[in-house]
Amino acid sequence: MDKQALRERVWDDLEASGEARFPFPPHGRIPNFAGADAAAQRLADEPEFRAADAIKINPDSPQRPVRRLALEAGKTLYMAVPRLAEEECFVELDPDRIDDIDNATTIGGADEEGVQVPPDDVAPIDLVVSGSVAVTEDGDRIGKGEGYSDLEYALLLELGLVDGETPVATTVHERQVVEGPVETAAHDVGMDLVVTPERVVRPGEVYKPAGIDWALLSEERIAEIPVLERFRL
């Protein structure tokens, strides 16, 4: 099954089963799901989360509980600006400078409570949390198809802010854990922790890309992402 067919299957299943949560429909996005709070708490109980001082996390609804738990634990969060379209391409959320943590966990609130910073001002990242449409027990992840999550990881890698040992986690509904193998590409980032409301899966050694895959980036897309220019050979 190719990636898009698998996405459609998972989106349809979450909707038909009643396990999808606002925003609706689940299609075309990282889907929110029943039990997202419980999955977030399971992740927060893991040593990788407890030890992290700085976490890069996606802005999607199902990971909002993860963002809340991280800020409540005093961790600094980084979120990429949409499509990496600005020179200051990350939003930094420092819990010591936030007036309203609940507001800061929303997309709009993060802009209000956080500070946009250039890549050079981002702290080394101790944990990456990614949203998923589907993921296997072997750690193969499928996102919503735009490729920005993998590109953000590759950018952090080029900046020396993550490396092959930096753990990458995802929180998903049990219905999003699918049988492999699934179609993956050289830029896809493997998940070290797959966390559902019921369990934590540790796939073991997973694939991580070595950097930015320039073959996937058109001149038009490079022009839309200012920070990429510094890494062009």
Low-confidence ranges of the chain (pLDDT < 70): 233
pLDDT of residue 20: 98
Closest CA to 49 of 200, 173, 176: 200
Cα Rg for the chain, rounded, in angstroms?
17
Q: Quick one: tokens of 75?
A: 């961790």
SS3 per-residue string spanning 24-45 = CCCCCCCCCECCHHHHHHHHHC
pLDDT of residue 128: 98
* Cα 88 from Cα 121, distance rounded (Å): 9
pLDDT of residue 167: 98
Element of type H or E holding 221: helix 219-224
Q: For CA atoms 130, 133, 137, 138, give the dihedral sign.
A: negative
* Cα 210 from Cα 187, distance rounded (Å): 8
15 backbone dihedrals φ, ψ, rounded to 5°: -70, -45
Edge-to-edge strand list for the sheet holding 177-178: 141-142, 134-136, 177-178
Spatial contact of 195 and 169, defined as CB atoms under 8 Å apart: yes
Domains of the chain: residue spans and CATH: 3-224 (3.40.50.10420)
Question: CA 25 → CA 19, 126, 205, distances in Å?
Answer: 11, 33, 34
pLDDT of residue 216: 83
* Cα 136 from Cα 178, distance rounded (Å): 5
pLDDT of residue 53: 98
Spatial contact of 6 and 180, defined as CB atoms under 8 Å apart: no
DSSP secondary structure, 165-207, as one string: TS-EEEE--GGGEE-S-----TTPPPPSEEE-SS-EE--SS--
pLDDT of residue 217: 87
* Cα 102 from Cα 140, distance rounded (Å): 31
Distance from first CA to last CA of the chain, Å, rounded? 36
pLDDT of residue 147: 80
Over the stretch 79-123, which tens digit does the pLDDT of each residue have?
999 889 999 999 999 999 999 999 999 999 999 999 999 988 999
